[in-house]
Structure formats: C-alpha cells, structure tokens
Amino acid sequence: MSRNIVLSYTFSQDSKLTNHFIHNELITILDLVHTLGSLNAVAKEIGISYRHLWNEINRWENEFKEPLLIRERGKACELSAFGNRLLWAEKEVQAKYATQIAELRAGIEQAYAKAIDTEAKIISLRGCSDEAVRLFRDDAIQNKLYLELSFNSSLQGLKDLQDNKCHIAGFNFPLGATSSSKAAKTFSTYLSKDIKLIGFATRIQGMAVARGNPLSLHSFLDLSLKKAIFINRNEGSGTRVLCDELMTTSGLTSKDINGYENTVNSHALVAASVASGKADAGLCVQSIASHMNLDFVPMVKEIYYFATRDTFLKKEETKKFIQILNENGWLEKASSLEGYDFRDCGKIYDISHLGWNLSP
C-alpha cells in the first residue's frame, strides 16, 4: 500500500527535537524497541504510559495491516521483519539526505533570523560533516549567531573557502600526518599562508562492524583476506583519505578491497549500510557507530580544524564564534559523544602549525 509523506516544521525550544533532522513518532518507537528491547523501557523513555504505547502500536499495525513486533511470552520485545524494514528504510533515508535536510533547516532558520532579528550574525560554514558541529551550531543560535551549514567534504570545503564561497571550512585528517602523507598532498594546495586554523576536536575513527563482529574484522588486511563487503566514503572526504592511507600501509590497493568503489557521502550512511546488512564494514567515527548500535574497531585519532582567512578572523562575528566555542554550555552536551576530545577547542594557530610544505 502506498503512503503519502507530508513534511512540516515547527518552532521548538526542545533541544532533543533539534537533534532529529525529521521526526516521526512511529519510527522513534521502533528505534527505541530495537535499542532497549523492552516496551516498559520505551514507554518510560518517551514519557507515556505502557497502555498508551500499546494502543499506538496497535493503531499502526491496523494501518499497515502488518505486525510491527514479535509477540511471544517470556521473550524480550523484538521488531518483526516488517518493523525492521521500516526502521532501516527510514535510517538510510535520514543518513542519505542528512546534508540536504541540515541545509534546508539552516536556510529556514536563517530566513527567520533575518526577519526577527536584524542584528543577527550569520557565518557560512562548509566542509566535513560532524555531529559536534551541529551541537555547537544549536548552541550558537541561542547566542544570536547563525551558522549556515553546508556539509560537503573536507576538500570541497577548503576549495569553497579558497573561492570565497564560505567564511569557514571544517576539515579532518589523521593526527600527526606529515608532509608526505595523503592528507597533506590532498589538502595543502588549498591552505595558503593567509589561512588561520581554529582548533575544534579530535575524534576516533575506525571500522564499524555488525554487533559481535561476526567476521572478526580488525584491519584492512582482514577485509581483503576475508573478502568482506566494504562501504567507502566519497572522494575528497577526510575519511576517504584515511581509508587510502590505511590501505597503502597494509600493502593493499583498491582492487584488494571488495566494495572500495561503493561510496556514500556521510559517516551516518556508512553506519546505516553496515547496520542494515548491506555492507560488512566501513570507516566512521566512534559516536556514529555507537548510535547505530554497532561494534567499533578503533584505528586512528584524527583532528578536526576550522580554517578561515586571517582577515575574517578579525571580524566581530568570528570573535563571537570563538567566544561561544570556548563556553561550557555546548561542550557539556558534546561530552556525551564517544571518541571526542575538545581540549584544544577554540585555540588559534598559524597554518605553519601543520608542519606541511604549503604553497605561498
């Protein structure tokens, strides 16, 4: 049976809702059943009675004419095959269109910001997608600083900064990468001497695998030897750079990795591909793997910088940007993200801090 999808938006002060790109009550219930395995726990988490929760489930089952749950006495609550298909279809859509949805939300917020507050400051930020950046953005809004987010890739963000298409670019690469690294060769062309770096975070990247790691995948060599299905990131992303570095140091080429050419444009979509069984493994940050209830094999610590021009660093909106970065409000929320470290957040560095051979 076909379903008509109606999208809408609302104004809310509830920070929990702003963490969802598109919120659907049924999918929220299914996701919590999948994660918690108990209807009592789900009802408590949502803040409704157990009876009301059952009424909602029964209503949706009547609507779809399909069971959403497996109902067996003495067993933990589980999703039916149909319930699982609904949940993962939605997760893949959310992951696939996360960038576009975030841009749409930012555009709507920016339009209202201009209409409501004529003194609102707006900064255009492009580059590497990151959960913590979104948390920072939500906090910045409360301080009348609006970040126009357009996540594409680390490389594209730096290209856009060079072409004056954005004010700030976020990019990531393995901590300690030298001038001979793939990261330096990929990004240094777009890092001129008039660029300043603003510290943001370090993140743990690694291999997301199914719960229990059934194929015992711990390295790229394992991927090759066991012919596991890999899901890769798009060209120009910091994660793709990391993938190529790890592959090279293992003595492998792209032909040795089953699925190297299968690419997606976000960590969330990597994790969704693994969680739904479409791939055996993929690289993503630890927090995303944890959110998708996957096992995680840590591989490298990477650094995430904001790059901006020295001239923009002197503007009032940039000073406010850095001031908010150094405040504890949003950092307290971000501390729940697994694998992140914000100890250098807000520190400013010359481009020479990277230690790379840079263009004049």
Helix runs in 98-164, H state only: 98-116, 131-142, 154-162
In tens, the pLDDT along 171-203 reads 999 999 999 999 999 999 999 999 999 999 999
Facing residues of 209 across strands? 281, 295
Q: Give the pLDDT confidence score for residue 20 in this predicted structure.
A: 53
Name the more confident of 71 and 163: 163
Phi, psi of 94, rounded to the nearest 5 degrees = -60, -45
Strands 263-264 and 230-233: parallel
In tens, the pLDDT along 10-33 reads 766 554 545 455 678 888 898 888
The residues, any chain, with a CB within 8 Å of residue 99's CB and separated by 6 or more, are 129, 150, 151, 152, 265, 266
In tens, the pLDDT along 262-315 reads 999 889 889 989 988 999 999 999 999 998 889 999 999 999 999 999 999 989
- Banded pLDDT at 92 (limits 50, 70, 90): confident
Phi, psi of 68, rounded to the nearest 5 degrees = -95, -25
Single-letter amino acid, residue 222: D
The residues, any chain, with a CB within 8 Å of residue 125's CB and separated by 6 or more, are 133, 147, 148, 149, 150, 166, 167, 168, 169, 170, 306
Instruction: Say if CB 21 and CB 94 are below 8 A apart.
Output: yes
Q: Give the pLDDT confidence score for residue 1 in this predicted structure.
A: 47
**Which residues in 14-117 belong to E strands, given as ranges?**
69-70, 78-79
At residue 19, the 3 state secondary structure works out as: coil
| CA 346 from centre of chain | 21
What is the architecture of the domain spanning 23-96? Orthogonal Bundle (1.10)
Element (H, E) at 244: helix 238-249
CA atoms within 13 A on the CB side of 88: 17
In tens, the pLDDT along 219-235 reads 999 999 999 999 999 99
Instruction: Say if CB 247 and CB 220 are below 8 A apart.
Output: yes
Name the more confident of 71 and 244: 244
In terms of phi and psi (left: phi > 0; alpha: psi -120 to 50; beta: otherwise), the region of 74 is left
**Neighbour count for residue 48 (Cβ, 10 Å):** 14
The two three-digit tokens of residue 84, written as one number: 């699982």
At residue 11, the 3 state secondary structure works out as: coil
Q: Give the pLDDT confidence score for residue 245 in this predicted structure.
A: 94
The two three-digit tokens of residue 66, written as one number: 């399909």
CA atoms within 13 A on the CB side of 220: 24
Q: Give the C-alpha separation, 320 to 307, whole Å.
A: 16
Element (H, E) at 238: helix 238-249
The two three-digit tokens of residue 277, written as one number: 């069984």
In tens, the pLDDT along 114-161 reads 677 767 778 999 999 899 998 898 888 878 888 888 888 999 999 999
At residue 201, the 3 state secondary structure works out as: strand
Q: Give the C-alpha separation, 360 to 357, whole Å.
A: 10
Confidence (pTM): 0.76
Strands 121-127 and 295-309: unpaired
Q: Give the C-alpha separation, 214 to 294, whole Å.
A: 12
Q: With CA atoms as reference, report the closest residue to 150 among 132, 174, 167, 172.
A: 167
Q: Give the C-alpha separation, 149 to 126, whole Å.
A: 6
